[in-house]
C-alpha cells in the first residue's frame, strides 16, 4: 500500500514535463530556418528544394512539416524576420535629432551591421526580390517607402534636390541588395559595413 503522502513525489509538474519537448521543438525550428537561410542566400530560392533544407538541417520531413507546411512558409518566416529587424532599425535611426540626410545614412549603416551579423535577416532580405513569393514585393516596397520618407524630409529641408525623391530610395535599396549578393556569393573579403557606407555616400553625393 502506497502512503498518500508519498504520491505527490511521483507527480511531475506540467511545466517541467513539457519544457524539454518545447525546447527541442524550438531548437529544431531554429535549425530548419538556419539551413534554409543558408541555402536561399547562396543558391537562391528557386534552386533550393525542401529536401535540400531537410538535409542541411540534418532533420526529417516530418519535423519540417510540423513547423512549416511548405518551402514558401519557411521563406515567409524569413521575410518577416527581416521586416521586423528593418522596422526596429528604422525606429532606432530616428531616435536622434540629426538631420534627415544623416538619419538616412544611419539607417542603412544600421542595416549593414544587422545583415553582417544576422543570417536569417540576410536571407529574408534576398527573398524580398523573389517575385514568385506573394509576400516579397510588399516587403521590398515597405523598405523603399521607409527610405523615401527620409529622402522626402531631406528634400523638404533642402538637403537634397526634389529630383532625388523615390529614385534615390529605390536605388539605395537595390544597391544594398546587390552588395549583399556580391559579398555572399563571390566571397568579397571587404568589410561589409564600410562598403555600404561607401554606397550610401556615393548615391547621396551624386544627388546633392
What local confidence, expressed as pLDDT, does residue 30 receive? 93
Q: SS3 breakdown of the chain: % helix, strand, coil, rounded to 5?
A: 75, 0, 25
Question: Looking at the domain assignment, is residue 30 inside a domain?
Answer: no
What local confidence, expressed as pLDDT, does residue 80 receive? 97
Question: Looking at the domain assignment, is residue 156 inside a domain?
Answer: yes
Cell 525550428 maps to which residue? 29
Containing domain of residue 166, as a range?
70-207
Q: How far is it, in rounded angstroms, from Cα 85 to Cα 43? A: 23
Number of domains observed in the structure of the chain:
1
Q: Are 192 and 116 in contact (CB under 8 A)?
A: yes
Q: What is the CATH number of the domain that holds 144?
A: 1.10.357.10
Question: Looking at the domain assignment, is residue 4 inside a domain?
Answer: no
Q: Write the Ramachandran bin of 158: left for phi over 0, alpha for psi from -120 to 50, otherwise beta.
A: left
Q: Which cell numbers hold the place of 179?
A: 552588395
Q: How far is it, in rounded angstroms, from Cα 67 to Cα 12? A: 27
What local confidence, expressed as pLDDT, does residue 9 receive? 41
Question: Looking at the domain assignment, is residue 60 inside a domain?
Answer: no
What local confidence, expressed as pLDDT, does residue 2 receive? 44
What local confidence, expressed as pLDDT, does residue 11 receive? 46
By CB atoms closer than 10 A (0-12, 13-18, 19+), residue 44 is middle
Question: Looking at the domain assignment, is residue 15 inside a domain?
Answer: no
> The pTM is what?
0.82
Q: Where are the alpha helices (DSSP H) in 48-135?
A: 50-56, 61-67, 71-93, 100-117, 119-127
Question: Looking at the domain assignment, is residue 10 inside a domain?
Answer: no
What local confidence, expressed as pLDDT, does residue 139 receive? 96
Per-residue pLDDT in tens (0 to 9) along the chain, 208 residues: 444 444 444 444 444 445 577 888 888 999 999 999 999 988 889 999 999 999 999 888 999 999 999 999 999 999 999 999 999 999 998 887 888 889 998 999 999 999 888 999 999 999 999 988 999 999 999 999 999 999 999 999 998 888 877 789 999 999 999 888 877 767 665 567 787 888 887 777 666 5
C-beta atoms surrounding 186 within 10 Å: 8
Question: Looking at the domain assignment, is residue 27 inside a domain?
Answer: no
What local confidence, expressed as pLDDT, does residue 189 receive? 53
Question: Looking at the domain assignment, is residue 172 inside a domain?
Answer: yes
Amino acid at each position: 500500500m502506497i502512503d498518500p503522502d508519498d504520491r505527490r513525489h511521483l507527480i511531475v509538474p506540467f511545466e517541467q514535463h513539457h519544457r524539454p519537448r518545447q525546447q527541442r521543438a524550438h531548437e529544431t525550428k531554429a535549425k530548419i530556418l538556419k539551413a534554409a537561410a543558408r541555402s536561399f542566400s547562396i543558391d537562391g530560392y528557386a534552386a533550393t528544394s525542401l529536401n535540400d533544407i531537410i538535409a542541411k538541417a540534418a532533420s526529417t520531413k516530418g519535423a519540417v512539416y510540423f513547423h512549416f507546411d511548405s518551402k514558401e512558409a519557411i521563406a515567409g518566416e524569413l521575410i518577416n524576420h527581416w521586416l521586423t529587424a528593418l522596422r526596429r532599425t528604422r525606429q532606432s535611426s530616428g531616435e536622434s535629432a540629426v538631420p534627415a540626410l544623416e538619419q538616412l545614412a544611419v539607417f542603412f549603416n544600421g542595416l549593414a551591421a544587422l545583415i553582417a551579423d544576422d543570417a536569417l535577416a540576410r536571407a529574408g532580405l534576398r527573398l524580398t526580390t523573389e517575385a514568385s513569393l506573394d509576400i516579397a514585393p510588399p516587403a521590398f516596397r515597405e523598405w523603399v517607402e521607409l527610405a523615401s520618407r527620409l529622402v522626402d524630409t531631406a528634400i523638404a529641408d533642402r538637403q537634397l534636390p526634389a529630383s532625388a525623391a523615390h529614385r534615390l530610395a529605390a536605388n539605395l535599396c537595390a544597391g544594398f541588395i546587390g552588395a549583399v549578393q556580391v559579398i555572399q556569393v563571390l566571397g568579397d573579403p571587404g568589410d561589409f559595413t564600410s562598403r555600404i557606407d561607401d554606397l550610401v555616400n556615393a548615391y547621396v553625393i551624386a544627388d546633392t
